[in-house]
Amino acid sequence: MRLLEFEAKSILKRYGIATPLGAVLSEGETPINNFSGPAMLKAQIPIGGRGKTGGVVTAQEGPGLHRQVAGLFATKIRGYRPKKLLLEEKMDIQREFFMAITYDTVAKAPVVIFSSEGGVDIEKLAQREPEKICTEHFSFRDGLPEHKARQIVAETGISGKLLLGIGTVLAKLAKVFIETDATIAEINPLALIGAGQLIALDCHLDVDDDALFRHPDIAQIEKDGSRIESAQSQSDFERKAAQIDSVDHRGVAGRVIEFEGSLGLIIGGGGASLTAFDAVRAHGGKPANYCEIGGNPSVKKVKELTKHILSKPGVEKVAVIMNVVSNTRVDLVARGIIKGIIEAGKDPSKTVAVFRIPGAWEEEGFKILKKYGVRYCDRKTSIDEAAQMAVANAR
């Protein structure tokens, strides 16, 4: 689940990371700028690249601000029409930095990415001047203590009071990542402002769907249907998947986006699903859908979802890929996949291109798969390797 910017910033504040003064606007509200200086107006959508597509503008005063607000609410930005806007104090920026924490599926550990420069073109910087970017792994058990965070920052040439300040923010961001079960926690840019203070100007926070049961406050946000509005209408295939998901409250099985490929995907929620989807495409596969499962869905829910994906014309095989699961039972997912394939009139051994779900009750799950001759792999096989296997077997 990707939080909107203002939602992510509210979590940063809990951990003592400073953000600009701001106010959230909903449609129909009268915008009032209570800040002493200029302000920014930012569309709240769950995707990056807003600044380059007109979603972030310098706020005008008086009637001009009203026109800007109305215009943004009526504009489709990268496939979304914003339902919320953030009116935020504009900062006097002296310097910008980039920092992020994500999960490295190959190393099976969190990884820090820090750059002595930040902003919208961080990807180009990584290619042009890699010496300005430092990466370092750490463990969930030990976290990222401040002294280690400072060492990472120091490798990019930063020193003195600035080093101490950025190291503190980076250590706090790592704590956010761990304690919210995030798949990515990113601040870009972290700005040094005129008063010598470090401010998080923008934040990207994705929380693992499978862990939402541990965060009822964030889970409640996800259920708010007024947060965002996709500019793309659902296809009949997507609506049917949503109906399958709504039949049973247990777990998630049915958040589906339709594509034109032939390989059906049943993949884990949060960052793992995106990783698996991208890996399949990187190895030359053509996904028939993007789909998330997690939170221990019932056997019936997984069965119906499997049948539904196999009902799509041209789909003969499915790949089942998730990260290591703790609150989802591998055996229940395996039962649902097998039952769905059999009820679709197909042979499980010929239909499953790969099954990679390690974790809770995996031994029981693997026994079920073995009985039906289904290809499966454990945690020794990375998501990328599983995706490569799936594409090869689908051919």
Specify the pLDDT at position 232: 61
Pairing of strands 84-89, 39-43: antiparallel
Residue 33 pLDDT > 70: no
Specify the pLDDT at position 384: 93
- Do the beta carbons of residue 197 and residue 190 sit within 8 Å? no
- The architecture (CATH level 2) of 21-89 comes to 2-Layer Sandwich (3.30)
Q: Which is it for the CA torsion 335, 341, 344, 346, positive or negative?
A: negative
Which of 35-39, 166-170, 195-199, 275-279 is most confident? Answer: 166-170
Q: Where are the domains of the chain?
A: 21-89, 93-213, 233-394
Grade residue 63 by pLDDT with cuts at 50, 70 and 90.
confident
What's the topology of domain 93-213?
D-amino Acid Aminotransferase; Chain A, domain 1 (3.30.470)
Closest CA to 96 of 198, 8, 182: 198
Q: Domain 233-394: what homologous superfamily? A: Succinyl-CoA synthetase domains (3.40.50.261)
Residue 126 pLDDT > 90: no
- Do the beta carbons of residue 85 and residue 68 sit within 8 Å? no
Grade residue 27 by pLDDT with cuts at 50, 70 and 90.
confident
Q: Across the chain, what does the average pLDDT equal?
A: 90
Which of residues 246 and 376 earns the better pLDDT score? 376
Question: Could you report the per-residue pLDDT of 355-374, keeping only the tens digit for each?
Answer: 999 999 999 999 999 999 99
- Percent of the chain whose pLDDT exceeds 70: 96
Residue 351 pLDDT > 70: yes
Grade residue 85 by pLDDT with cuts at 50, 70 and 90.
very high
Mean per-residue pLDDT, 128-139: 86
Terminal alpha carbon distance of the chain? 32
Question: Could you report the per-residue pLDDT of 186-222, keeping only the tens digit for each?
Answer: 999 999 998 789 999 999 999 987 788 899 899 888 7
Mean per-residue pLDDT, 108-131: 80
